Amino acid sequence: MFKNRRNNEDPELDITSFMSLMIVLVPVLLMMMVFSHISILELTLPNPDGASGNNNTEAMHLELAVEDDSLSLYYPQGALLKRIANIDGEHDYATLVQALKEVKFLLNEKDIKKTEINLLLAANTNYQTIVSVMDTVRSYETVVAASLVDAELFPDISLADLPDNLVTAQEAKQ
């Protein structure tokens, strides 16, 4: 009789260790979700004939030639605006931002709303350089009303090969 009573009793569940695990695991998983944002960039290929519309100002493209030893800004296509030499073997992104801000200001003064830029990449341009240049030409940080915000430069980015007919930095030195 006593044996049957012991077997019929329900065992007690102890879930304290499971609850402790959940208390630690849930905030960690939520924090990881914040850090794992995926960003997608839309890239376009430049028009092969160089014309994007009927308007003459729309047909003029802003181009940035990315070479190993310099960055060259052209507007309209093929007309050199500014050549930015490397500093200590690295591209000078701060000077590039200043030049792009000046171009944006001058275009806005002429009532030209331009948001696209063509990146002309040399054949041996590495991936990190492409990403850094794309981040630089898209926007810059500025202070507005005592807070740091990203101001738009040229967010519509097209990629193309560096043509042979552009004057490269090596040819300009000769």
Using one digit for the tens of pLDDT, what is the confidence trace for 44-55? 666 655 544 445
Closest CA to 125 of 166, 75, 64, 74: 64
Query: What pLDDT is recorded for position 169?
Result: 44
Query: What pLDDT is recorded for position 12?
Result: 77
Query: What pLDDT is recorded for position 2?
Result: 55
Query: What pLDDT is recorded for position 124?
Result: 86
CB atoms closer than 10 angstroms to residue 87:
11
Query: What pLDDT is recorded for position 47?
Result: 61
- The stretches in the chain having pLDDT less than 70 are 1-10, 34-59, 166-174
Query: What pLDDT is recorded for position 156?
Result: 85
Helix axes 127-138, 93-109, angle to 10 degrees: 40
Structural domains present in the chain:
2-35 (no CATH), 60-173 (3.30.420)
